[in-house]
Amino acid sequence: MSYSLLVMKFGGTNMGDGAAIRHSASLVTRSIKEEIKVVVVVSAMAGVTNQLLKIAASAETGDIASANDEIAAMRTRHFTAAQELGAAPDSDTVREIREMHETLRQAVYGVYLLRELTPRSRDLIVAFGERLSAPLMSLALEGMQVHAKHVSGGEAGILTDSHFGNAKPLPQTYERVKDRLTGFLSAGVTPVVAGFMGETEKGATSTLGRGGTDFTATIIGKALSADEVWAWKDVDGVMSADPRVVKDAQNIEILSYGEVMELAYFGAKVLHPLAVTPIKESGIPLRLKNSTDPDFAGTLVQPEPQHIPDRPVKAVTSIKNVSLITVTGAGVLGVPEVIASVFTALARENITLLMVSQSSSMSNVSLAVPGSDAGRTLQALRSGLSSELNVEEQNDVAVLAIVGSGMRGQRGVSAKLFASLASSGVNVLMISQGGSELNISVAIEGGQVDTATLAVHQAFGLGRAAVSG
Ligand code: ADP
Ligand code: ASP
Ligand code: MG
């Protein structure tokens, strides 16, 4: 296929140091040499986002000395990368990086003075990671004779709601991004957009949730009606399991938008869970490609799933650090209002529900929520429900899910799942199957999640050995 416009996204590893950034820039120029226009979207250098979160937390607790030490170390890293990419000490890039670090230092000092870290100030601080790596990508591209210009997410036109930490693009975003970036492209300029961030209508910096640079790339893909969005990764694409846990995991050639969303939602860190939402309607394909093997096709994400005979399940994923909350009591028995008030309380608190299960007698309702939301969930339920009801929590739980469109209407899939869990001694705490039949998820004890993942991966024959053997 011949392309005219691609959006290319580079994550933290691909922006890790000067050499990695130069290699990423070379992947962009490869396409530009073929007369393809490219919009580049970049993440922070690997580890920088976590470092910024730590800096913000130190300032809030009054430890400004540690915060400043970390900022200094980070600044050295950005300067070193700029130098590796050929920037002179008095160059515009070095000056820009110095100024950004100074603004960051001031923002962190403000948090220290107030001893208060609001979601809004956390977003301002954490988005510096992407803002600082964008000039480095421009520098690398300029070094390859590509005329590049870097912009923040807000400058690129991404306008979001005010859910700081998990903001979503507003509908006007798409027209704005189109207006702003088309100008660059028609002038022969390659835009380099700082991922993960946007701005609110009041001009405050917001972030799109962890892993949000994938989301930035697809938002831009939709706005410009790109031919494809390419997310360059440090793995072959979406794999049949987390390759750090299952050595035998293999690349999945084709996934539908629905399948990849389920995978990302149930913990496959390789893609932001909402990344496919912007491109779904227009059917723009997303490719996940390995930056160290650019000729390998990777994973193609498209509207329709691919049915592979005898392979109803395509991947197994898991979410760790989950809490199970169970509401019990005679009052739950046959009273739909109780269920309604459970959901109302959770919605009010904006809590992510990973699984819900209700016994058919309606004498209890169990909910799986991220461990970090457990405290708020308990509080919301205890204050929102009648005191006759009992609310209990169980911590250190994991949710394991199998995903694949071929499970629909296929008998024996659950039997195989439960048999493989039972034979490896894994106790199932809760079960749920989505109405779409794209996944079956189970809650298990946290300590058993890797054993369970390996067993299930093997039982469904998902590994490389199963294919070649
Ligand atoms: P990037 O910064 O490029 O977005 P991430 O680190 O966010 O990269 O995501 C890629 C990582 O996701 C891989 O290195 C891998 O360890 C992890 N991962 C977890 N589950 C999967 C999976 N099913 N397929 C591929 N990678 C996975
Ligand atoms: N840098 C951000 C994160 O670590 C966004 C991303 O990498 O996509 O979450
Ligand atoms: Mg990521």
pLDDT in tens, the chain (469 residues): 789 999 999 999 999 999 999 999 999 999 999 999 999 999 999 999 999 999 999 999 999 999 999 999 999 999 999 999 999 999 999 999 999 999 999 999 999 999 999 999 999 999 999 999 999 999 999 999 999 999 999 999 999 999 999 999 999 999 999 999 999 999 999 999 999 999 999 999 999 999 999 999 999 999 999 999 999 999 999 999 999 999 999 999 999 999 999 999 999 999 999 999 999 989 999 999 999 999 999 999 999 999 988 889 999 999 999 999 998 877 666 667 777 888 888 888 888 899 988 776 657 889 999 999 999 999 988 887 777 788 999 999 999 999 999 998 788 999 999 999 999 999 999 998 876 789 999 999 999 999 999 999 999 999 987 654 4
Residue 208 Cα: closest atom of ligand 2: 5
Pairing of strands 364-370, 315-328: antiparallel
Residue among 269, 400, 460 whose CB has most ligand 1 atoms within 8 A, to mutate: 269
Asked if 220 and 151 count as a contact pair (C-beta separation under 8 A), the reply is no
Distance 340 CA to ligand 3 centre (A): 35
Beta partners for 148? 190
Residue 211 Cα: closest atom of ligand 1: 7
Q: Please tell me the distance from the alpha carbon of residue 238 to that of residue 229, in angstroms, as a whole number.
A: 15
Q: Three-state SS for 267?
A: coil
Pocket lining for ligand 1, CB < 6 angstroms: 11-13, 43, 211, 233-235, 238-239, 241-244, 268-270, 315
Whether pTM exceeds 0.85: yes
Cβ count near 372 (within 10 Å)? 12
Asked if 405 and 255 count as a contact pair (C-beta separation under 8 A), the reply is no
Asked if 39 and 224 count as a contact pair (C-beta separation under 8 A), the reply is yes
Residue 273, φ and ψ in degrees, nearest 5: -60, -30
Q: Please tell me the distance from the alpha carbon of residue 151 to that of residue 102, in angstroms, as a whole number.
A: 18
Distance 230 CA to ligand 1 centre (A): 15
Residue among 40, 51, 52, 210 whose CB has most ligand 2 atoms within 8 A, to mutate: 210
Pocket lining for ligand 2, CB < 6 angstroms: 11-12, 43-44, 49, 129, 195-196, 210-214
The C-alpha angle with vertex 315 and arms to 324 and 444, in degrees rounded to 5, equals 20
The CA radius of gyration of the chain, in Å to the nearest whole number, is 23
Q: Where are the extended beta strands (E) located within 285-332?
A: 286-290, 299-302, 315-328
Residue 44 Cα: closest atom of ligand 2: 1
Distance 9 CA to ligand 3 centre (A): 10
Return all residues near 65 (Cβ < 8 A) that are at least 6 apart.
Answer: none
Type of residue at 229: V
Ramachandran assignment for 163, one of left (phi > 0), alpha (psi -120 to 50 degrees), beta (any other): beta
HSE of 260, CA atoms in CB hemisphere, 13 A: 32
